[in-house]
Amino acid sequence: MIILTIQEMTLRRLEYLELLYRDSKQIRDLFLKCVLYSGCCTKTHWICELVTFLYSANKVSCKVELDEEYYECTVFAKFGASEDDCEIMIENFCNDYCKHGDYGDYLEFKIDDAVIKHVHAKMVKFLESSIAYLSDRKIHSMKDWKNLLDKII
């Protein structure tokens, strides 16, 4: 019988939180690619990558009991809550990906109120649904995650 000390349990919890935080930027960027370039031929590929990251987070989340707010601070740490946060998130994405950014050459687009409201509405649905999935302490299949994303994005 293995008995863990409080210190060992705390360290394990911190390791799990770090694992959940680690991919937050990739999750945010893939989400934005799917929403901002929804007509792109590689959207299916991006959704598959996003499913993989969320499925991995789901497996980790089942190993440690977390309240919903922990997911906002870890898996979805790079997302914001308000439309202003969303605008900053889109601007950062454009700096990284458009105009010969660090991560590639993506088509530029105008960041206006319509784009911000569209992305924010999708983001709210994405965060609420994903956090609900992660919080229910079940391991959802990759197909479940894909079906969820197909409804949102």
Q: Distance (Å, rounded) from C-alpha 104 to C-alpha 85?
A: 23
Give me the phi and psi of 106, to 5 degrees please.
-110, 150
Mean per-residue pLDDT, 126-153: 94
Q: Distance (Å, rounded) from C-alpha 98 to C-alpha 20?
A: 27
* pTM of the predicted structure, to 2 decimals: 0.86
Asked if residue 1 belongs to a domain, the reply is no
Q: Would you say residue 4 has pLDDT above 70?
A: no
Asked if residue 90 belongs to a domain, the reply is yes
Tens of pLDDT, residues 68-127: 888 888 889 889 889 999 999 999 998 888 866 555 667 778 899 999 999 999 999 999
Q: Would you say residue 6 has pLDDT above 50?
A: yes
The owner of tokens 């959802």 is 140
Rg of the chain's alpha carbons, rounded to an integer?
17
Q: Would you say residue 1 has pLDDT above 60?
A: no
- Please give the structure tokens belonging to residue 82: 């308000």
Tens of pLDDT, residues 30-67: 999 999 998 888 899 999 999 999 999 998 888 777 78
**Number of structural domains in the chain:** 1
Query: Domain of 146?
Result: 6-152
Query: Among residues 149, 142, 144, which one has the least CA distance to residue 122?
Result: 149
The answer to whether residues 47 and 34 touch, using CB atoms and an 8 Å cutoff, is: yes
The percentage of the chain sitting over the pLDDT mark of 70, rounded to a whole number, equals 90
Q: Which residues pair with 98 in a beta bridge?
A: 106
Asked if residue 126 belongs to a domain, the reply is yes
